């Protein structure tokens, strides 16, 4: 009988360890400690034992009962904390869907602009946001008394450094470093201390373009921008050049595209004009070539600069530039 108890001891310990939940433990308890369980069964047969054997076996049986009770309790506590219970994997449940992030609408727009120019032979270059007065103004033929040099129009840092007010600075860096032929677009952030409102931000993005070689003409500029407009806004898009002035291009133009909303008929977005202004452009001014050490009799070129936010607002129908920079996910998730 003692032999039988030892066997029960081993079995019960194994069953307690194997139980995976509280219900399983309860089954083990009933099987060994229950009124009709294994130990009760042995107790019931004790009357057949000799007087010497009976107390020994009785003592062992009681010890075993206590031992099993204690182990059940211990195991119940481990399972009861929920650890094993909640860690069980239900492989039939659908997987967890994680929301993938995506690029900011301004980044998407800038990358689309870059891609179009890449496809027609331009390479992409970047320059620093902290610049010299020389690269931002002097080399670009912007005279000392030009209003854009004013402290109200430019963020000045110490010495002759400033936050660039346009990406035309990268034209200068490129021309100082390399000789023509050059064909590059230069995307990046620019800064102007403008009061913020629905259409102004102290920081925004531009994409600059530059092509320099022997015999580059204004017609090349028109061709490149026409391809850009049709790929960016649709094949029906028309382009219009209006005479304008920039110190670093001559002649200069402001470039409009036919309104992408009303296709030129006149609507609220284009202010009934049928045209939307998207960029400034022109032939590189000989004074700029002189500033970078090129011979203006040998080389000609064109340059343009466009505002990325303005284009993104037109494409996506966004009417307030501030929405792009507030990091409100309810807005950004729409793109
Ligand atoms: N730099 C001009 C601006 O910021 C845009 C421009 C670039 C115009 C190149 C002509 C040529 O307004």
pLDDT digits (tens, 9 = 90+) for 105-149: 999 999 999 999 999 999 999 999 999 999 999 999 999 999 999
- Closest C-alpha to ligand 1, atom 5: 305
User: Could you tell me if residue 328 is inside a domain?
Assistant: yes
Q: What are phi and psi of 305, to 5 degrees?
A: -150, 130
Which of the pair, 277 or 79, is modelled with greater confidence? 277
Q: Please, how many CA atoms are within 13 Å of residue 146, restricted to the half-sphere of its CB?
A: 16
What local confidence, expressed as pLDDT, does residue 82 receive? 56
**Which residues on neighbouring strands pair with residue 241, listed in sequence order?**
255
Whether 126 and 20 map to the same domain: the answer is no
Most confident range (mean pLDDT) of 20-29, 34-43, 298-307 is 298-307
What local confidence, expressed as pLDDT, does residue 84 receive? 52
User: Could you tell me if residue 96 is inside a domain?
Assistant: no
- Closest C-alpha to ligand 1, atom 4: 166
What local confidence, expressed as pLDDT, does residue 79 receive? 78
Whether 263 and 154 map to the same domain: the answer is yes
Whether 184 and 261 map to the same domain: the answer is yes
Residue pLDDT, tens place only, 58-67: 888 888 888 8
User: Could you tell me if residue 95 is inside a domain?
Assistant: no
- Closest C-alpha to ligand 1, atom 8: 280
Ligand 1 first shell, C-beta below 6 A: 166, 168, 208, 246, 249, 280-282, 303-305
Whether 320 and 216 map to the same domain: the answer is yes
Q: Which of 38, 55, 88 is the last residue of a domain?
A: 88
User: Could you tell me if residue 163 is inside a domain?
Assistant: yes
What local confidence, expressed as pLDDT, does residue 81 receive? 62
Number of structural domains the chain divides into:
2
Q: Which domain holds residue 44?
A: 2-88
- 272 C-alpha vs ligand 1 centroid, how far in Å? 26
Confidence (pTM): 0.73
Separation between Cα atoms, residue 134 and residue 259, nearest integer Å: 37
Q: What are phi and psi of 147, to 5 degrees?
A: -60, -30
Residue pLDDT, tens place only, 88-114: 788 888 888 888 899 999 999 999 999
- 315 C-alpha vs ligand 1 centroid, how far in Å? 21
Q: What are phi and psi of 129, to 5 degrees?
A: -85, -25
Q: Which of 46, 63, 88 is the last residue of a domain?
A: 88
Whether 291 and 204 map to the same domain: the answer is yes
**Which residues on neighbouring strands pair with residue 280, listed in sequence order?**
254, 305
Whether 150 and 74 map to the same domain: the answer is no
Average pLDDT for the chain: 92
User: Could you tell me if residue 98 is inside a domain?
Assistant: no
Q: Which of 39, 58, 88 is the last residue of a domain?
A: 88
Predicted confidence (pLDDT) at residue 163 exceeds the cutoff of 90 = yes
| CATH (domain of 109) | 3.30.930.10
Whether 258 and 213 map to the same domain: the answer is yes
Predicted confidence (pLDDT) at residue 330 exceeds the cutoff of 90 = yes
Ligand 1 atom with minimal separation from the 206 CA: 4
Choose one of 139, 168, 310 to mutate for the ligand 1 pocket test, by most ligand atoms within 8 angstroms of C-beta.
Answer: 168
């Amino acid at each position: 009988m003692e032999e039988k108890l030892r066997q029960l001891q081993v079995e019960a310990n194994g069953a307690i360890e194997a139980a995976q939940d509280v219900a399983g433990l309860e089954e083990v308890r009933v099987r060994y400690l229950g009124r009709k369980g294994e130990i009760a069964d042995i107790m019931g047969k004790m009357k057949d034992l000799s007087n010497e054997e009976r107390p020994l076996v009785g003592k062992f049986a009681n010890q075993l009962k206590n031992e099993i009770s204690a182990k059940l309790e211990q195991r119940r506590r481990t399972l009861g904390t929920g650890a094993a219970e909640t860690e069980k994997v239900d492989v039939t449940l659908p997987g967890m869907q994680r929301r993938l992030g995506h690029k900011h609408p301004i980044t998407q727009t800038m990358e689309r602009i870059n891609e179009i120019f890449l496809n027609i032979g331009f390479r992409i270059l970047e320059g620093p946001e902290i610049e010299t007065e020389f690269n931002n103004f002097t080399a670009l033929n912007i005279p000392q008394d030009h209003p854009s040099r004013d402290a109200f129009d430019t963020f000045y840092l110490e010495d002759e450094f400033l936050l660039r007010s346009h990406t035309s600075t990268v034209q200068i860096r490129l021309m100082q470093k390399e000789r023509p032929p050059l064909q590059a677009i230069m995307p990046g952030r620019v800064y102007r201390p403008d009061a913020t409102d629905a259409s102004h931000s102290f920081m925004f993005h531009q994409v600059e373009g530059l092509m320099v070689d022997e015999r580059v003409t204004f017609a090349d500029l028109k061709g490149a921008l026409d391809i850009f407009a049709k790929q960016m806004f649709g094949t029906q898009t028309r382009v219009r050049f209006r005479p304008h002035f920039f110190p670093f291009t001559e002649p200069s133009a402001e470039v409009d595209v036919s309104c992408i909303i009303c296709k030129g008929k006149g609507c609220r977005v284009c202010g009934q004009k049928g045209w939307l202004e998207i960029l400034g452009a022109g032939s590189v001014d000989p004074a700029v070539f002189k500033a970078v050490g090129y011979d203006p009799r040998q080389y000609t070129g064109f340059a343009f600069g466009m505002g990325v936010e303005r284009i993104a607002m037109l494409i996506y129908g966004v009417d307030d530039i501030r929405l792009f920079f507030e990091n409100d996910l309810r807005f950004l998730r729409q793109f």
